[in-house]
Amino acid sequence: MQNMTQENIIRIIKETAEKVPEWVAFYSLRDYKVPRVRSASIKIIRTCIALELIGLPITTNLLEVVLGDRNKLYTILHRLGDYKVIDNVESDNHTLVYQLNDEYKAHIKLPEITICTN
């Protein structure tokens, strides 16, 4: 992903997130007993899965830029952490960094997703 503009990276993240089926995100959160699974939660977890697939860190700053909305972001991320969907990772800067929980990654069943970097 070297020599790519910020707009290209954001486009790739959004396209990859769109390839994660909504039903996979919805039912995986339901299996983990996450309450109040709404469209915002599904959008956030699809983006987190996309970031994990691409190999980028899941940060609050990156999620804000990609999703374009910080409304309820921190509340939803906190809830996903409470239900062991994501884990908080130590970071040296002032942004929150997460990763998908290893058990959750093993639980979700994704179809083959190709990442287009053009």
CATH number of domain containing 14 = 1.10.10.10
Cα angle: 43, vertex 95, 68; to 5 degrees? 35
Residue 1: inside a domain: no
**Containing structural domain, residue 18:** 6-107
Q: What is the pTM of this model?
A: 0.88
Residue 116: inside a domain: no
Residue 80: inside a domain: yes
**One digit per residue, pLDDT tens: the chain, 118 residues?**
567 888 999 999 999 999 999 999 999 999 999 998 999 999 999 999 999 988 899 999 999 999 987 888 999 999 999 999 999 998 777 778 999 999 998 888 776 666 666 6
Residue 15: inside a domain: yes
Instruction: Give DSSP secondary structure letters for 46-105.
Output: HHHHHHHHHT--EEHHHHHHHHS--TTHHHHHHHHHHTTSEEEE--SSSS-EEEE-HHHH
Residue 117: inside a domain: no
How many structural domains does the chain have? Answer: 1
Cα(114)–Cα(107) distance, integer angstroms:
20
